[in-house]
Amino acid sequence: MTTDLEPRELVAGVDSSTQSCKVVIVDPFTGEVLRTGSAPHPAGTEVDPEAWWSALRQAICDAGGFADVAAVSISGQQHGLIALDRDGEVIRDALLWNDLRSDGAARALIAEVGADEFVDRAGVVPVASFTGAKLRWLRDHEPDNASRVAAVALPHDWLTWRLLGYGTSSTEAPRGPDLEALVTDASDASGTAYFSAVAGGYDFELFRTAFGATAREAAGSQTREDTRPTAVSPRDEAVVLPRVLRPHDSAGHTPEGILVGPGAGDNAAAALGLGAVPGDVVISIGTSGTVFSPTSLEINDPSGMVAGFASADGGRLPLVATLNAARVLDSAAALLRASHSDVAALALASEPGANGLTLVPYFEGERTPNLPDATARLEGMTLANSSPENVARAFVEGMLCGLADGLDAVLRQGVTAERLLLIGGAARNPAVREVARDIFTVPIDVPEQAEYVAIGAARQAAWTLTGSSPRWQVELVATLHPRPSQVRRQYRSFAHTSLTDETSATPNAGPTHDTNPAHENSDNDHRGSSGARAPVEG
């Protein structure tokens, strides 16, 4: 595609997610997406990072190349562990966020340090996803590999390093394996459990607790970008952690002369791509669900439900993740032997509360609330309400109520919600949009379907290039106004039974329930704490 711009005046953004690599080429002045490219990633919870590098190069080619690109930034899936030896070689396949073998390691870290102490120092309570827990697992289960670790990087850190021309001799990287050139940003570093979003730096003692070794921050490239180093040797035996760049700092230039931004974690990049500001809460419904909001508030949640991550613009990004999101709709389609569009039509043929039928959607346990061993179940079923329409409605309502639990957790941290931004693949589902009006009590904007993570990375690239953060318009396809409903009250009467069962040995414990359809005002109206038209705070 041709443009009126001169060569090397466009910007590019990369979304290196779990499933694929996506590239967008964007006009830095208008935010118009001019070209796109993508390439798949291999499945699994541990992956050779070289597959990501290959996918990035393929996606760039698919997008028409970078001949007219002046700046680029990379966003990546958070938390993954890439361990490098002193020659820059990847020691073992990267452990991804969804690799849960480190669950016991996370619990051990909490026992050693304490949840309150972790939150005070790192803003998070360790879970299996976080890099710190994966480092502990590596130390305990693969000591030979652990003994070789000279540097630890996150997925977007490593890809940025490779794009800048660094790597091992076996990869023909023109600038060699300079570990001091590793860089990251606060948004991604804050998901490690050894970085403080409040202090803006690493907590090296927490790293030592996790891995049993000293660490230090990378000093910056020891060589000129246009020359290859003759030798590589760390200054000491401390493990090198990527240098943390400010939101629009330059990471350097590619061998071709393209400016490289600091990059970001995927959710932080999505917030940038959406232009989210304090008062906006993003609800993303993908394979898993996330609820997050930019703020300046310091987040402190010892329960671990809300992670006190940093944002990509220098603020905070409190975030809740739920395990059961769009896959709940997949389950409904399988159960009803119907397509997703048919499930939506069935759900819309029912009414709020599904005539008393309620799905507790914990198909794979749950993180919010923290119920790792819980299972899903249909409650309140009678001969009168056992219809495909009510089952479909109950599945949609249960999924959205689970996300509303996440929203409640974020709001309890003092975050203000003036509007919700509904994104992700399931946001296109007409039943999801309609039922959301019965679940949430804050106005909901639905942006047009777009690659907001990659667009956010491109916006960061433009910021790095020009020195000012551009304001790009986000088109909306719908604005949904909430309507009074008791769907949340009906759902909570059964969901709380899960919490009771998880924390006690008494089966079938929990409150009695009312199977009447939910039509009345909810007792959990978010307007009471967030203010649908309240002043923006944070």
Which ranges of 355-467 does DSSP label H, i.e. alpha helix? 388-411, 430-439, 452-466
In this structure, are residues 212 and 205 in contact, taking their beta carbons and an 8 Å threshold? no
Sequence length of the chain is 538
**Residue 79 is labelled as binding a ligand:** yes
In this structure, are residues 73 and 461 in contact, taking their beta carbons and an 8 Å threshold? yes
**Distances 228 to 8, 87, 175, 178, 251 between C-alpha atoms, Å:** 25, 14, 4, 9, 17
For 471, half-sphere exposure in the C-beta direction (CA atoms, 13 angstrom radius) is 1
Tokens of 415: 């975050």
Biggest alpha carbon distance in the chain?
78
Q: Which residue has the tokens 């009906």?
A: 490
In this structure, are residues 90 and 84 in contact, taking their beta carbons and an 8 Å threshold? yes
CA distance 350 to 390: 6
Cβ within 8 Å of residue 252, ≥6 positions away? 164, 181, 183, 221, 225, 260
266 catalytic? Reply is: yes
Cis check for the bond before 294: say yes or no (omega within 30 of 0).
no
Q: Where are the beta strands (DSSP E) in 353-464?
A: 358-360, 377-379, 417-423, 444-447
**Residue 78 is labelled as binding a ligand:** yes
DSSP single-letter state for residue 96 = P
CA distance 65 to 57: 9
Angle at 46 between CA 86 and CA 304, to 5 degrees: 95
CA distance 285 to 280: 16
Catalytic residue among 203, 266, 280, 301: 266
DSSP single-letter state for residue 397 = H
CA distance 201 to 460: 21
CA distance 166 to 168: 7
- Give the number of other CB atoms < 10 A from CB of residue 360: 24
**Distances 184 to 96, 174, 188, 242 between C-alpha atoms, Å:** 17, 21, 7, 6
In this structure, are residues 86 and 150 in contact, taking their beta carbons and an 8 Å threshold? yes
Looking at the annotation, which residues are catalytic? 266
**Which residue ranges are tagged as binding site for substrate?**
78-79
